[in-house]
C-alpha cells in the first residue's frame, strides 16, 4: 500500500482511499455481472502454489455465499471512508481501513483453511489500531479487549483446522485445501470436537453470549465509520466461517448441534 508514502494531506488521503474503495466495489460488481447464479460450484477460481510443505496454497474462489458479502464489504468500506471526518494521521487511518477491507475480502474468498486463518487475523491489528488511536476516552481498554478476544478466537480456529488437516493427511501429504479436506470424511466424534472449537472461535467473532462482552466496549469507543464496519461486515466473518467450514466440513456434527445452535442464537438475540 502506497498511501502512507504520499505527502501529508488529509483531503488527498481520503480521496485516494475513496477512489480505491470505489474501484474495489466496481470490481466486485463486475464479477457479479459475470457470475452464473444457476451454478453452486466455485467460480473465478485462482490458484498459486505457496508453502506447499505445510499445506498452504494461495487458493481463492467465489460462490453464491461469498459474492453478496464481497458486495457488502466493499460498499460499506466506501461509505465509511466517504463519511469519515478529518482526522489526525489521515494517511495511516485510511490505509488501515483499506488493509482491513483487504483482509475481509480475502477471508470471504479463501479456499484454503490456513489461508482463511491468515486473512481472518490480518484485520486484527488494523482494527485494533483504528480503535486504540482514533477511539473515545476508553479506546485503549476497548482496543486491547478486542485484541485479546480475537487472538483467543484465532487459537481455537487454528486448532480446529490443524486437527482436521492432520486427520485428512495421507502418506505424509498435508493440505489445508477446503476441497481436499471435504473429500476425507471425518468420524462423528472428531467432527464434534473440531466443530466445538470452531463454535468457540466464531462465537467470539459473531459474537454469541457469553463470548460477546468485548463488543459493547468496541462499539462505544470506536469512531463512527469504524463502528459501522465492525457491525456491518466484520462480525459477519463469524457467521460466514460457521457456514463455510462448520457446515461444510463437519456435516454430521452440524446436524447434531443445529437445535442447540438455534437456541443459542435466540438467547444471544435476547441479550442484545
Rounded to an integer, what distance in angstroms lies between the CA atom of residue 107 and that of residue 237?
Answer: 8
Q: What is the pLDDT of residues 91-108, one digit of tens each?
A: 899 999 999 999 999 999
Question: Per-residue pLDDT for 4 more than 60?
Answer: no
Q: What is the pLDDT of residue 271?
A: 56
**Measured in whole angstroms, how far is the alpha carbon of residue 28 from the centre of its chain?**
17
Residue 271 burial (CB < 10 Å; 0-12/13-18/19+)?
exposed
Q: What is the pLDDT of residues 245-260, one digit of tens each?
A: 999 899 999 999 988 9
Rounded to an integer, what distance in angstroms lies between the CA atom of residue 272 and that of residue 267?
Answer: 9
pLDDT band at 266 (very low <50, low <70, confident <90, very high): confident
* pTM summary value: 0.90
Name the average pLDDT for the chain: 88
Q: What is the pLDDT of residue 216?
A: 87
Q: What is the pLDDT of residues 192-228, one digit of tens each?
A: 999 999 999 999 988 888 888 888 888 888 888 999 8
**How is the chain split into domains, by residue range?**
48-60+91-271
Question: Per-residue pLDDT for 272 more than 80?
Answer: no
Q: What is the pLDDT of residue 6?
A: 52
Q: What is the pLDDT of residues 55-84, one digit of tens each?
A: 889 999 999 899 999 999 999 999 999 988
Q: What is the pLDDT of residues 128-173, one digit of tens each?
A: 999 999 988 889 999 999 999 988 999 999 999 999 988 887 666 7
Rounded to an integer, what distance in angstroms lies between the CA atom of residue 179 and that of residue 181?
Answer: 6
Identify the residue with better confidence: 8 or 145: 145
3-state secondary structure of 61: strand
User: Cβ distance 154 to 201 under 8 Å?
Assistant: yes
Identify the residue with better confidence: 89 or 6: 89
Cell of 202: 466464531
Cell of 154: 484465532
Cell of 242: 460457521
Q: What is the pLDDT of residue 155?
A: 93
Question: Per-residue pLDDT for 268 more than 80?
Answer: no
pLDDT band at 270 (very low <50, low <70, confident <90, very high): low
> For 30-56, what is the mean pLDDT?
89
Amino acid at each position: 500500500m502506497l498511501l502512507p508514502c504520499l505527502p501529508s494531506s488529509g483531503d488527498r488521503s481520503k480521496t485516494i482511499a475513496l477512489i480505491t474503495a470505489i474501484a474495489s466495489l466496481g470490481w466486485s460488481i463486475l464479477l457479479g455481472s459475470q457470475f452464473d447464479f444457476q451454478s453452486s460450484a466455485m467460480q473465478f477460481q485462482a490458484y498459486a502454489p505457496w508453502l506447499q510443505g505445510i499445506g498452504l496454497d494461495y487458493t481463492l474462489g467465489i460462490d453464491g455465499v461469498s459474492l453478496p458479502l464481497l458486495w457488502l464489504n466493499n460498499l460499506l468500506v466506501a461509505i465509511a471512508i466517504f463519511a469519515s471526518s478529518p482526522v489526525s494521521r489521515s494517511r495511516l487511518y485510511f490505509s488501515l481501513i483499506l488493509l482491513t477491507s483487504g483482509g475481509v475480502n480475502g477471508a470471504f474468498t479463501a479456499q484454503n483453511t490456513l489461508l482463511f486463518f491468515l486473512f481472518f487475523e490480518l484485520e486484527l491489528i488494523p482494527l485494533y489500531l483504528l480503535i486504540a488511536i482514533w477511539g473515545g476516552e476508553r479506546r485503549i481498554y476497548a482496543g486491547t479487549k478486542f485484541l485479546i478476544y480475537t487472538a483467543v478466537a484465532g487459537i481455537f480456529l487454528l486448532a480446529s483446522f490443524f486437527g482436521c488437516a492432520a486427520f485428512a493427511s495421507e502418506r505424509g501429504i498435508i493440505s489445508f485445501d477446503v476441497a481436499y479436506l471435504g473429500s476425507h470424511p471425518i468420524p462423528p466424534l472428531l467432527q464434534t470436537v473440531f466443530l466445538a472449537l470452531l463454535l468457540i472461535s466464531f462465537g467470539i467473532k459473531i459474537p454469541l453470549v457469553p463470548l460477546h462482552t468485548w463488543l459493547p466496549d468496541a462499539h462505544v469507543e470506536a469512531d463512527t465509520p469504524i463502528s459501522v464496519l465492525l457491525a456491518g461486515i466484520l462480525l459477519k466473518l463469524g457467521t460466514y466461517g460457521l457456514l463455510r467450514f462448520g457446515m461444510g466440513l463437519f456435516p454430521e456434527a452440524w446436524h447434531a448441534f443445529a437445535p442447540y445452535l438455534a437456541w443459542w442464537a435466540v438467547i444471544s438475540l435476547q441479550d442484545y
